[in-house]
Structure 1
Amino acid sequence: MSNLPANGRPLKFMFAPMSYMLSHICRCVEIGKVLRDRGHQVVFAVEDPERPGWRSNVAVKSGFPWVHVQEQDYGYIFNRLETKGFLFVGLDLLNLGHWTPLDKIFQGYIDAIDKEKPDIICGDASIAASNAAYVRGIPAAGITNSYAGKFVSWPSITYPAIQVWDKLYLERFRRPIYAKYNKKPIDSVRLFKSIPMISPDLDGLYEYPKDWNWKMVGPILSEPPVPMPDWFDELQDGQTNIYFSLGTTGMLDPLLRRVYADFAKLPYRFVVTTGGQATQETIAMAPPNFRIAEYAPGRAVLKHCKAIIFHGGNSTMYQALEAGVPMIALWNQLEQKLTGEMLQRRGMGLCSQARKTSSKWLVDALNEVMSNPKYREASQRFSSTVASATGAATAARILEEVARSGEPAGHTLT
């Protein structure tokens, strides 16, 4: 049933999430559901849902049409992080062709816009999507966590590095496409920071740079459309459960192997969701006090858990805050590190770099957050606020306003 205002017309929204990451596509799906319920059309520009490792099928299973675009090969880069570390990933940023063919990605978004003719495109921290909107003269918005903006703002040392990288290296991939469509080249970093940027965060929880066009909407709680695992009912048998999930960004397989022996001795049941990041061989090695599934409804699982070990992912953190449980964040990249440091600073848990975390440190950290009530109490202070958040509905309203304005991406810069 349509909830459009009397003077409104149905609009068409295109979402362009990083569909390799489950949380990124899930939050777009939640906003898309609100827009669809309000009578609008919603289409997803994503990788092929049948491509192994990608989570585009979350949108498809939720009933949304999709159009194919090529995305960065995030699986490649997360594998490099896991096996080689940050140094090699830095070198990959100067050799994008085999994992991020920017010219094809940029052109792919333009082609998707021309095919679907949306009123707005909402990217996911994507400079390519905002550039495509600029070229085709339509509004653009984005979804990214405000605290991550610090890497593209002063006084972060990464900001001038990103500007130089964009100007001297990335721009050469865009320049021929600007010329093809007779568009004046634009500063892509300024363009990205100028579009309405939805941040699914609690205002005040993190520090964030103010030189962006932030729209703080609050948490967008979401779950993939997956069934309950066979072992779910066991979680209510009185044994203490610990949720263990590193999302869909790698590092889980070697970490499980590292902790199995010590965790087998602990008086806890470990409830693990792998996100496809653990081999069958590793799963088969699990001790008896482990319950493992590829995916599970995290919010439902957390209702029966006393703590969480996770990757520092923003969406998972808000699920943990909703449940009021202490957290141990094992971060794998810089954005996750910011979350881990924030929750440690606020007394909600502890954090460590996943690649460098020993089994002993993790056992000690788990014993600390389980025995000291201050961590649980700190998390519980946010539980009711997170549970009552209306992030998806607020984001949908903002996107409607931007789409109805008709103001094309970059209109304030040209």
Structure 2
Amino acid sequence: MRVLFVPHANKAHLHIMTPLAWALRTAGHDVRVASQPEIADAIIASGFVPVEVGRTRTEMPAFYPGVRPGETPPVVMAPGERQEMPLQQDFPRDNPLEKLSRASWGFALFSTDEMIADLIALIDSWRPDLVVWDSMVYAAPAAATVCGVPHARMMMGPDGITQLRRAARDEGDPLRDWLDRVLGGYGARFDEDVATGHFTIDPMPPWQYQPDGLHLVPVRHIAVNPPARIPDWLREEQQRPRICLTLGESHRNGRGTEAPAADLLDAVSGLDAEVIATFNAKQLATIPVLPDNVRVVDFVPLAMLLPSCAAIVHHGGAGTFATAVEHAVPQLIIPGTHWGFQWWGPLAHANGLQQQGAGRFVADADHLTSEALAEDLTRVLKDPSFKANAERLRTQVAGLPTPNDLVPALHRLVDQYRDVAAARAGRPS
């Protein structure tokens, strides 16, 4: 088979796709990876030759005039008050169309007109048997639909967009409206599989939130890290429990939606633990003095670091979350600001971990206090049930099909959907 992977222009998303791409490649299939230019070097580092499609787009498209990310003010908490954990399944109950409109700002940002045109040209010339697309990049299913090629969505977290679209069904659907306009320009039409794939490859644990009724194909998450050397201190004998403190790749540029580094470091300063903080210079710019128990490193492979950790504090990104599950490390999750991140996965990850007894939702970034984080860290480090439950979850995910196991299933699914995709586009299969 020929298989085209289309990740979002984010290294963490590429790394979630890479094991399946290599499973197909080592099984003898032809694999290409196409994305916007920002991650060309990361694609090369992953072992593939990048196909650059589209260009970088920085302006924020507005599907509804005046609706842009960041406009919803944070909820003001009373002194000493702790935020209750929101639940993913509760979000659509009030004003789902408004929430969908706010969540939809990235549709065209991540799938520009130029990217769609470039993908159509690539698919038409190379004729892949399957397109595997990042669940945030709708350019790929649009192009695959125009060209009559089966396509599979690959999740990077919970399917909050489908959750919202179903809740807002009678009021409107900005994703459908946008895709219908895009496809109409190429003589095609929208159908539900353009939004959800002919099937959905899901590398998240089975207890992770997903809407009912989808054709889900589970696969085990395999951690992939950028090329790096293991630091000498990681080989040394530990004297105290170790905590990893990271905000991942997504928050290294200080966009104002992340938890403040000062609050995070203040929370860990009084703990009898060694804290490894993967912060860069920009994140540390406002920190005059580091706590004595904190070691700052710009980057260290989580797959190498986490086996030595008693806990990890992080932003809830899919790669960090799944890697910590794989290594049975209790997790404390601090998503970005509530208005910006409720749909992109961190809260659903926190919901699942807390319900399974393997972690804690601390607070959204705009509700965080250092006292709340210190309290939760102390609880997780002292209560052995968190580690025991994390071990249980590791055993569960170890039983999922590996990317290698999935390859024969992909053969069958391509055969199943080939005629359907070709007929939709009016092309011979």
Q: TM-score, normalised to structure 2's length?
A: 0.77
Partner amino acid, structure 2, of 1:287:
P
RMSD, aligned α-carbons: 3.5
- 1:18 is displaced (CA, Å) by 1.2
Change (3 A) 1:244 1:404: same
- 1:139 is displaced (CA, Å) by 1.6
- 1:149 is displaced (CA, Å) by 2.7
For structure 2, which runs of at least 5 residues remain unmatched after alignment? Answer: 62-67, 75-97
Looking at structure 2, the residues matched to 92 and 72 of structure 1 have their Cα atoms a distance apart, in angstroms, of 20
Partner amino acid, structure 1, of 2:402:
G
Partner amino acid, structure 1, of 2:180:
E
- 1:248 is displaced (CA, Å) by 2.2
CA deviations on 1:23-80 (whole Å, 9 max, x unpaired) are x2112111111111111221100122xx3xxx44332113211110237759989xx9
Give the structure 2 partner of residue 186 of structure 1: 190
Give the structure 2 partner of residue 130 of structure 1: 141
Matched, 1:65 2:49: yes
Looking at structure 2, the residues matched to 120 and 198 of structure 1 have their Cα atoms a distance apart, in angstroms, of 13
Give the structure 2 partner of residue 242 of structure 1: 243
Change (3 A) 1:192 1:221: same
Partner amino acid, structure 2, of 1:165:
P
Helix, strand or coil for the counterpart of 1:265? Answer: coil
Change (3 A) 1:168 1:207: closer
Matched, 1:104 2:93: no
- 1:364 is displaced (CA, Å) by 0.8
Verify the 8 A CA contact 1:133 1:409 in the aligned structure 2: no
Give the structure 2 partner of residue 47 of structure 1: 36
Give the structure 2 partner of residue 3 of structure 1: none
Looking at structure 1, the residues matched to 165 and 184 of structure 2 have their Cα atoms a distance apart, in angstroms, of 29
* Aligned equivalent of 2:395, options 384, 387, 410: 384
Matched, 1:28 2:17: yes
Looking at structure 1, the residues matched to 11 and 106 of structure 2 have their Cα atoms a distance apart, in angstroms, of 22
Q: Single out whichever of 261-270 and 327-336 deviates more from structure 2.
A: 261-270
Change (3 A) 1:409 1:346: same
Looking at structure 2, the residues matched to 353 and 211 of structure 1 have their Cα atoms a distance apart, in angstroms, of 30
| 1:8-407 equivalence runs, <5 A | 11-22=1-12, 24-48=13-37, 51=38, 55-70=39-54, 93=104, 99-100=109-110, 102-125=112-135, 126-144=137-155, 148-149=158-159, 151-153=161-163, 157-158=167-168, 164-176=173-185, 178-179=186-187, 184-187=188-191, 189-203=192-206, 205-229=207-231, 231-234=233-236, 236-250=237-251, 255-274=260-279, 278-279=282-283, 281-282=285-286, 285-332=289-336, 333=341, 334=343, 335-351=345-361, 352-387=363-398, 389-404=400-415, 407=418
Helix, strand or coil for the counterpart of 2:418? Answer: coil
Looking at structure 2, the residues matched to 70 and 277 of structure 1 have their Cα atoms a distance apart, in angstroms, of 31
Give the structure 1 partner of residue 82 of structure 2: none
Change (3 A) 1:371 1:94: closer
- 1:172 is displaced (CA, Å) by 2.6
- 1:288 is displaced (CA, Å) by 3.3
Verify the 8 A CA contact 1:15 1:123 in the aligned structure 2: yes
- 1:150 is displaced (CA, Å) by 5.2
* Fraction of identical pairs, as percent: 21
Helix, strand or coil for the counterpart of 2:296? Answer: strand
Helix, strand or coil for the counterpart of 1:148? Answer: coil
CA deviations on 1:107-132 (whole Å, 9 max, x unpaired) are 12212223433222110113321121
Verify the 8 A CA contact 1:245 1:309 in the aligned structure 2: yes
CA deviations on 1:93-148 (whole Å, 9 max, x unpaired) are 46977x45632232122122234332221101133211211111112112115x72
Looking at structure 2, the residues matched to 227 and 137 of structure 1 have their Cα atoms a distance apart, in angstroms, of 44
Q: Single out whichever of 333-342 and 194-203 deviates more from structure 2.
A: 194-203
Q: TM-score, normalised to structure 1's length?
A: 0.80
Partner amino acid, structure 1, of 2:205:
L
Change (3 A) 1:128 1:85: farther
Looking at structure 1, the residues matched to 175 and 245 of structure 2 have their Cα atoms a distance apart, in angstroms, of 37
Change (3 A) 1:308 1:118: same
The count of residues paired between Structure 1 and Structure 2 equals: 384
Partner amino acid, structure 1, of 2:219:
V
Partner amino acid, structure 1, of 2:360:
L
Looking at structure 2, the residues matched to 406 and 169 of structure 1 have their Cα atoms a distance apart, in angstroms, of 24
Give the structure 1 partner of residue 85 of structure 2: none
Give the structure 2 partner of residue 5 of structure 1: none
Verify the 8 A CA contact 1:20 1:75 in the aligned structure 2: no
Looking at structure 1, the residues matched to 107 and 165 of structure 2 have their Cα atoms a distance apart, in angstroms, of 27
For structure 1, which runs of at least 5 residues remain unmatched after alignment? Answer: 1-10
- 1:88 is displaced (CA, Å) by 11
Partner amino acid, structure 1, of 2:118:
G
Looking at structure 2, the residues matched to 375 and 298 of structure 1 have their Cα atoms a distance apart, in angstroms, of 20
Partner amino acid, structure 2, of 1:27:
I
Verify the 8 A CA contact 1:150 1:156 in the aligned structure 2: no
Partner amino acid, structure 2, of 1:198:
I
- 1:15 is displaced (CA, Å) by 0.4
Partner amino acid, structure 1, of 2:35:
V
Verify the 8 A CA contact 1:191 1:413 in the aligned structure 2: no
- 1:324 is displaced (CA, Å) by 2.2
Verify the 8 A CA contact 1:82 1:355 in the aligned structure 2: no
Higher relative contact order (CA 8 A, sep 6+): 2
Helix, strand or coil for the counterpart of 2:260? Answer: helix
Verify the 8 A CA contact 1:42 1:65 in the aligned structure 2: no
